[in-house]
Each structure stands twice: as C-alpha cells, then as structure tokens.
Structure 1
Amino acid sequence: MYLRTKITNHYREIINSIGFYPSLLSVAFLIFAVLTMSVEYLAPIEQFKSLISFVLVDSAENARTILSTLAGSIISLTVFSFSMVMVVLNAASASLSPRVVPGLITRKSHQMVLGFYLGSIIYSIIMLININKLDNGNTAIPSLGVLFALIFGLISLGLFVFFIHSISKAIQVDNVLNGLFRQTKQEIQDIINKQGDNPVDNFPEFSNWHSIKSTTEGYYKGVHTNKLCAILAEEKIELFITVKQGYFTVKGYPFLKCNKDICENEELIEKILDCFIFYIEEYISDHYRYGLTQISEIAVKAMSPGINDPGTAVKAIDMLSILLIARLKINAINYAYYQSEEAPLLYFHETSFDELLHDNFTPLRNYAKADAYVMTNVIEAFKNILFIANEDVEARNSVFNYLGAIVDDINQHICNEYDRREIRNMLQAIVRISELQGNQLVARFEQHQPISE
C-alpha cells in the first residue's frame, strides 16, 4: 500500500520529466539490439542477408568504422540538442514567463527525438561490441545490425533538422501564446461539455457539512477523481473541496467538507487524502486557470522595459477576453460522478469570474496603466466581454467594478488629451451595451482630472 501511494505521488513528476520518454526509448532500443543479435545468425536470416548483400558490410574493419562513426556523430547531435533545449528554456523563462517552462519541457516531440538519439547510440555500441573473432579464425559480423544502425543514423539526421526547426518555433511568442490559448480553451470546453451532459440544478448546503483538515502543506493542484469517487461510492458519502486549485494549504487547514462526520475514521480519511495531488508546477491540463495565468504573465512581461512589446500584450489581452467569455458558461460549483451514480459524489469550488478578472488583469493594469494604447485595448476587451455577460447580472457587475478601477488608474496616469479622447470613445461604446452603468463609468472618467507630474 505504501509503495503504491509513493509511486502515485511521484507519477506526475516522473511522466513530466524531460528524461521520461528518452529513458523508455533507450530501453526499447536495447531490447531491439538484443533481439537483433539473437536472430542475426539464424539460417532464415542468413538467407535473407544473402539477398540484400549489396547493402551489408563484408568486413569487420568497415563495420567497426561505420559503427564508431555513427556512435560518435549521434553523441555530438545529442549534446547539441540538449544544449539547445537548455537555451530555449532559459530564453522562455527570461522573455516569456517561468511558468511556461514546464510545458516546454514536457513537449513529447522533443523528448522523442532525444530518446531516439540515445537509443541509436546504445544500439550502435551493442553492435560494436558484438564484432567477435570465431574459433576458426573468421570474424562474426552482425551485418544486419550494422544496417539497422546505419538506418537509425540517417533517421537521426532527419530528426535533427526537425528538432532545430521545432525548437526555434517553440520560443516564438506567437506560437507559445497560440498553444496556451488552444489548450486553455479546450480545458474550458471539456468542463462545459461535462456539465452539459450531466446538469445539476440544486446543490447541497455545504456550510452544514463536516470539515476534514489537511495533513500536508503545499499547492493543491488536483485530485485523482475516479479513485476518490470509487471510495466515496463505497462509503456512501459525498465530499466538497473548499480550496480552489492552485491555492496554498497548510497542515490543519479544513480544505474538505463531508456530508457525514468521519473524523473518527482515520483510515478512511487517510485513503481520501491520498487521492489529492500537491506540487509546484502549473500544467494547463490540471486546470484552465493556469493557462489564463500564463497568458497574463506573458502580457506583463511584454510590457517590461527590457522587452517593450505592447503588440504581444494586446494579443494576450484579446485571448484572455475570449477565454473569460467561454468561462461564463461554467457553473460556480463543478462536480464529478462515479459510473452509474445518479447524483454527484464530489464537488469542486471553481474560481469565480470576479477572481479571474482580478488575478489576470490586475498585474497588467498596474504595469501598463500609463500606456494609453494598452489600456484602450483592455477597455475594448472588457467591452467584448460585456456583449456576452450583459444578461448575467453578477458577471456584468464584476466587469463594471473592474472597469471602475481601470478608469481610476487612467485618470491618475494618462494626461494627454488625444489619448483620453480615444479612451472616451471606447467608453461610449460600452454605453451602447449597458446604458445606465456605462454612463456612470463615463461620468467617473470625466469628473477626475489627471494629475500632472
């Protein structure tokens, strides 16, 4: 039991390691090398080799030269490729955001290329050490294995070209943003589809449920839903996770609530807590909020004096607006079923729309509040959100509350009358969507005079 729990806890760390797929491919190539040597000198294989003798080596010296050259050359490609990965990760951390680094490390295509390199090296070395002299004075040459090694070497050259092309694209900010946007939107759509397939209209009163305290500290990143729901179904209990994903918890914090008092059942509590995942990295596959955060941080980084790229910031702002519009379709409480159960057994606390506005636009607003171009586009993004959120009273109020904070910053930091006229025009466009609150916003903009420095 302890060993299984330990493996489960380290599962994500293992599969997201840059060496995971290279290790698997290395083992696969090693097994293939052993299989090649085990059938190399069988009679059917010897007959086949006689048919393709024109592409096989016929001397031990040539075989050693080819294998040594292949092994040395692929080692050089491997070293260069790993160096390129480190350069890309450093550049991404410096110019984009440190939070995008885990996503770049776990790119399967790059790991597969590096794994193919390592496997080819292992295969060539295995073939090299199997060139042996026989008792009759002849030399046993694994000519078929040498042919395979040569093919792997040629494939490695092609993969090297692909790797350089892919790694150069990976660092381009547009490609990074597009990738984050697609992943985040897909995660949001998956939740929308799941809630649409199994809608829940009435939720329990969670305030009356019994609290369960955390026994560990760290960033709560997720839960093994199927495993936990199986336990809940077996025990006939329901659970509500009060902590939002990504938030830090400490020992003793009541981050769970149960519809039954199970405080005395320590074994059951331990089984439940073993289903929760705590670690540092932020992967979009865990929750869409991480994708929003990474896009927001790229926008903030683009506005730094060292980069000074407002165009990227504006593109990130537009993406955030589209994702927040999609988020409006998600219920404030998420849930999970167990197989054929009629009612949910596990409830999640989704990050509210108001919190998403604050978390993703506040750093950008504070950093770009003196940039009229960016602030105008921020207001335009909120105008686009209002087109959809205007019928949702709670979401509309959240948008206008935040627009008030934006207007206050503009009044304090943007003095140029031309810039203020552009911002005024954008606010007038909001009035056409929601007249009452829009006019209040315009009045707020007009009544404050900018402070001259």
Structure 2
Amino acid sequence: MSTWLQKYWERLRASFWFLPSLMAVAAAALAFAGVTLDEAFTDRLLSGFGWLYTGGAEGASLVLSTVAGSMITIAGVVFSMTLVALSLASSQLGPRLLRNFMRDTANQVVIGTFVATFVYCLLVLRTIRRADEVAFVPHLSVTLGVVLALASLGVLIYFVHHVAMSIQVDVVVARVADELFAGVERLFPRQVGDRSETAAKTARDEARAAAAFEGAGADVIADGDGYLQLVDAERLMRLASEADVRIRLAVRPGHYVFRRQTLATVYPAERGKRALLGEIRRVFVLGEQRTTAQDIEFAMLQLVEVAVRALSPGINDPFTALTCVDRLGSALSRLGERDMPTPLRSDDQGVPRVLAPSPSLAALVGTALEPLRQHARADALVTRRLLSTIERLAPRFPVTGRAELLRQVAMIEHGVPATLQAMDRCIVAEACEKARRALRTSRVDDNAAQRSPATPEGR
C-alpha cells in the first residue's frame, strides 16, 4: 500500500464518521432493496411467511416512527457515553491514548448500528401510502425494521459492557502493549541467521557506507513542518536504482521536521536534478502527530506516559506503573532476541543505494527505562520491579546489548534519594547488585540463536 494511502487509511480508522457513514449507506441500500421486494412480491410473501408484519399503514407508520425516534435518541446517548470515556482516558491516562480509543472498531460499529437503523426506518417510512391514496404497506421492510431494532438493543447491551471494560487501566495498557508487540514483529521480523555473520556484515556495511556516501551531495529540503510518519522505502530504493544515485536519509519516522530542513542527501550532487529531488521529497509523509506505523519508539512512549502519569503526586497509582513496567519488559525481551537493522540498504545487484538511520537497541532501552527510572526514584516498589525486569532481560539480551542495561542499573543505584527509608534503600541496593550480577554472568548462545539483521518496513 502506498504510504500516502496508508496515512489516510489510518486517519479513517481513527475517525467516528467513516464506518458509521458506510453503515448508513448500506442501510439506505437495504431499504431500497426491501421496498423493491415488497412492491413485487408482497402478496406471495404474506402467504408464505407467517412471521411478517401484517398490519395496516397506520400501524406500520407508528412502528417505524417509534423505532426511528428511539434509535436517534440512543445514538446521542451512546455518543455522550463515548465522549465521557474519552475524557476519562485523556485525564487519567494521557491525551495521546485518545487515538487508541477512537480506533476502537466496536465503538464505531455501535454508533453506526443506531444511525443505520434510523436511516433505514426513515427511508422505509416515506414509502408507506394510506388508503386514500394507492395503498401500499411494505410488510417485509417493516419486519426488517423491527429486526434491526432488536439487533440494536443487543448492540446497546454490548456497548455498556464494552465501555465499562475499555476504561479499565489494565485493559488499556494491554491494548497499547499489543500494538507495541505488533510493531516489534512488523519492524523487526525474526529470521534465521548467525550473529557472528551479522556482526561481520554490520562492520562491512559501515565500511561500505563510509566510502559510498562521501563527497558533495544535493539536499532534499522539506516543504512543510510536522512529524515524519512514514517513509516509502520501496519507492525510495526504486528511485535510487533508476537514477543510479545513492541517498542518505537525515531523519527517520518519529522525528519532528522543520520547514526547509534537510530530509535526505543525494550522491553524487550532479545527478540530483530538481525533478528527482521532488520525487524523493514525496517519499516522506509528514503529519500532525506521531504514529506507530513505522515508529516503534512512539509505541513505547505511550506505555511510558501511562506509567509516568500514574507515578505523579496527583494520581499516585504505583500499581498501574507496575503493569506498564511488565509490558515494557515484554517488548524489550522481544527486541533483545532480534538484531537491529543495519543502516545500509542495497539493491538487487548488491549496490549500496540508501543509508537510513534506525534506532539502536541501547536507544530503545533508554526510551523505555529512562523516564521510569527518573520518576520512580522515590517509589521503592516500582524501582524494585524495574530492577527485577532488567534482571529477567539479561538472558535474552546479547552480550553487546547489555551495556545500556548496566548503565540503567548504575543510575538507579546512584539516584536512590536519601528520603527513602533505610530498609528500602538496602532492598534497592540488593536488587541492583542482583541485576548487575545477572547481566555480567548470563550466557547467550548467540550463534545458535535464530537471529539475523531485520529489514523493517519503511526503514
């Protein structure tokens, strides 16, 4: 899928109007089809199906009017309940999590069900003709309206349960974590390989990059401000191959871009024609906010934000922070089992074409643990859980990737405030020593592990 299509598809998924509008259009089509069948087969339908509505025009009008009025009223109530849930989520968990609630398909389907039933009943109601005219009662369509009303009642019952569940902190954290895990699988796929070969390949790539991306180049300049949401990697590689150029990216998804900032540099400079630079500029998709499509750090920061808010004096909910630490530990364990992508991208002939920055394992560990370490200094419970998580990560991390974990342990140990009780300080010191010992003594059979350089989507 094109990156621009992907951008607008993500916007549609996070809107409250798109799916309900589609359902309303489907309801209009159903009303048209039902009335058409009634006009052609009413007598045969009445004789063949005893469960059809058999009343007159007045009764049919009353039934459809009642259903339509109640549906639009309930739709307003449902929308109000949704706004209340969004307000609670924004104030308690963070405004950046609103996008996750708005992407909830269940809420969109519920609103769409009531709107669609209202539209259906309204359109069928206008086809009923009294006896003083050419009498017509759409018996099948009225029956379908009653069925839709009963279905809407079931949807309302489900919605009450769904809202009660969706605002629970553990459920919210689990959903955000699932999105983070999906991002790890998508951007850092597990493949079969040899870590020794990976290290050698990384060193060769660095040497090739130093030689291939030197000299004067032509800069690709941003024509607007915003967060870099997506990079069309396939199109970028195709442009580089067709023009026989090399492209060094200056930014990656998640970075904020200023107007007239350099997005990439094309080598050699004499081949960086205006048309080519314009094509490369369109590879970068800017937006108003960060997304998780190609930005794994943003998915982590959503969990970090929930934990930091929970540790604030105004909320003071360490148990929510513990849940976030556990989920972040799961994500880091997955990342520790994979190799980070090498920055150099080559075409099918092995020619270096694109040099793309990507987050290192140490940077991702810092993104996940640094804010938690700083805000949990005065909370012995969360600090101990943080150290326990680092200890459990030791066997899953390669030896070269444990330096950042050791640094975090050292900073936790040196950052214990004097206001903490003496016993708590001793417990934290013991946990630090235990985590440090695990990081220094754990063995990982790197060559037997099924790892190889990931080639993440959009990198």
Query: Into which bin does the TM-score normalised by the smaller protein fall?
Result: 0.7 to 0.9
Normalised to the residue count of structure 1, the TM-score between the two structures is: 0.85
Indicate yes or no: 2:62 matched with 1:69: no
Indicate yes or no: 2:51 matched with 1:42: no
Query: C-alpha separation between the residues in 2 aligned to 1:90 and 1:282?
Result: 21
Please state whether the residue corresponding to 1:349 is helix, strand or coil. Answer: coil
Please state whether the residue corresponding to 2:85 is helix, strand or coil. Answer: helix
Please state whether the residue corresponding to 2:69 is helix, strand or coil. Answer: helix
Indicate yes or no: 2:281 matched with 1:273: yes
Residue by residue over 1:125-144, the C-alpha shift from the partner in whole angstroms, topping out at 9 and shown as x without a partner, is 0011111247x744211111
Q: Which residue in 2 is equivalent to 1:186?
A: 182
| Greater displacement, 398-407 / 155-164 | 398-407
Q: Which amino acid aligns with 1:150?
A: V
- Call closer, same or farther: CA 1:418–1:331 in 2, change over 3 Å: same
**Does the 8 Å CA contact 1:185/1:288 hold for their aligned counterparts?**
no
Q: Which residue in 2 is equivalent to 1:330?
A: 339
- Call closer, same or farther: CA 1:77–1:251 in 2, change over 3 Å: same
Q: By how many angstroms is 1:341 displaced? A: 7.2
**Does the 8 Å CA contact 2:226/2:289 hold for their aligned counterparts?**
no
Of 397, 402, 407, 1:401 maps to 407
Query: C-alpha separation between the residues in 2 aligned to 1:322 and 1:50?
Result: 63
**Does the 8 Å CA contact 1:219/1:249 hold for their aligned counterparts?**
yes
Kindly report which structure 2 residues correspond to 1:12-91, keeping only aligned pairs within 5 A, or say none.
12-43=10-41, 46-91=43-88
Q: Which amino acid aligns with 2:169?
A: V
Q: Which residue in 1 is equivalent to 2:167?
A: 171
Query: C-alpha separation between the residues in 1 aligned to 2:145 and 2:139?
Result: 10
Q: By how many angstroms is 1:51 displaced? A: 1.2
Query: C-alpha separation between the residues in 2 aligned to 1:347 and 1:143?
Result: 67
Q: Which residue in 1 is equivalent to 2:127?
A: 130
Q: By how many angstroms is 1:398 displaced? A: 1.6
Q: Which residue in 2 is equivalent to 1:369?
A: 377
Kindly report which structure 2 residues correspond to 1:277-292, keeping only aligned pairs within 5 A, or say none.
277-292=285-300
Normalised to the residue count of structure 2, the TM-score between the two structures is: 0.84
Q: Which residue in 1 is equivalent to 2:452?
A: none
Indicate yes or no: 2:228 matched with 1:223: no
Residue by residue over 1:358-413, the C-alpha shift from the partner in whole angstroms, topping out at 9 and shown as x without a partner, is 33333322322111111122222222223333x432x2222222222222211x34
**Does the 8 Å CA contact 1:369/1:413 hold for their aligned counterparts?**
no
Query: C-alpha separation between the residues in 1 aligned to 2:253 and 2:150?
Result: 46
Query: C-alpha separation between the residues in 2 aligned to 1:231 and 1:149?
Result: 55
The unaligned stretches of length 5 or more in structure 2 are: 442-459
**Does the 8 Å CA contact 1:184/1:292 hold for their aligned counterparts?**
yes
Please state whether the residue corresponding to 1:140 is helix, strand or coil. Answer: coil
**Does the 8 Å CA contact 1:302/1:308 hold for their aligned counterparts?**
yes
- Call closer, same or farther: CA 1:194–1:73 in 2, change over 3 Å: same
| Higher RCO (CA-CA < 8 Å; seq separation 6+) | 2
Q: By how many angstroms is 1:37 displaced? A: 2.3
Query: C-alpha separation between the residues in 2 aligned to 1:147 and 1:49?
Result: 11
Q: Which residue in 1 is equivalent to 2:457?
A: none
Q: Which amino acid aligns with 1:352?
A: S
Please state whether the residue corresponding to 1:220 is helix, strand or coil. Answer: strand
**Does the 8 Å CA contact 2:250/2:357 hold for their aligned counterparts?**
yes
Query: C-alpha separation between the residues in 1 aligned to 2:162 and 2:266?
Result: 48
Query: C-alpha separation between the residues in 2 aligned to 1:208 and 1:84?
Result: 58
**Does the 8 Å CA contact 2:370/2:408 hold for their aligned counterparts?**
no
Q: By how many angstroms is 1:150 displaced? A: 0.9
Q: Which amino acid aligns with 2:214?
A: N
**Does the 8 Å CA contact 1:103/1:283 hold for their aligned counterparts?**
no
Query: C-alpha separation between the residues in 2 aligned to 1:233 and 1:123?
Result: 54
What is the root-mean-square deviation in Å for CA atoms of aligned residues?
Answer: 3.0
Indicate yes or no: 2:305 matched with 1:297: yes
Query: C-alpha separation between the residues in 2 aligned to 1:124 and 1:346?
Result: 57
- Call closer, same or farther: CA 1:284–1:168 in 2, change over 3 Å: farther
Query: C-alpha separation between the residues in 2 aligned to 1:228 and 1:182?
Result: 30
Query: C-alpha separation between the residues in 1 aligned to 2:12 and 2:391?
Result: 44
Of 138, 141, 153, 1:142 maps to 138
Indicate yes or no: 2:202 matched with 1:205: no
Indicate yes or no: 2:263 matched with 1:255: yes
Residue by residue over 1:237-294, the C-alpha shift from the partner in whole angstroms, topping out at 9 and shown as x without a partner, is 4544331321111122222233443674222222222232222334334432222111
Residue by residue over 1:51-110, the C-alpha shift from the partner in whole angstroms, topping out at 9 and shown as x without a partner, is 124421320111011101101111121111111111111111111121111011011121
- Paired positions, count: 428
Indicate yes or no: 2:158 matched with 1:153: no
Q: Which amino acid aligns with 2:434?
A: A
**Does the 8 Å CA contact 1:5/1:274 hold for their aligned counterparts?**
no
- Call closer, same or farther: CA 1:137–1:259 in 2, change over 3 Å: same
Please state whether the residue corresponding to 2:141 is helix, strand or coil. Answer: helix
Q: Which residue in 1 is equivalent to 2:447?
A: none
| Greater displacement, 356-365 / 340-349 | 340-349
Q: Which residue in 2 is equivalent to 1:357?
A: 365
Q: By how many angstroms is 1:119 displaced? A: 1.0
- Call closer, same or farther: CA 1:263–1:169 in 2, change over 3 Å: farther
Q: Which residue in 2 is equivalent to 1:310?
A: 318
Residue by residue over 1:136-156, the C-alpha shift from the partner in whole angstroms, topping out at 9 and shown as x without a partner, is 744211111111111111111
Q: By how many angstroms is 1:46 displaced? A: 3.8
Q: Which residue in 2 is equivalent to 1:121?
A: 118
Q: By how many angstroms is 1:427 displaced? A: 2.2
The unaligned stretches of length 5 or more in structure 1 are: 437-453
Q: Which amino acid aligns with 1:58?
A: G
- Call closer, same or farther: CA 1:385–1:267 in 2, change over 3 Å: same
| Greater displacement, 225-234 / 395-404 | 225-234
Identity %: 22
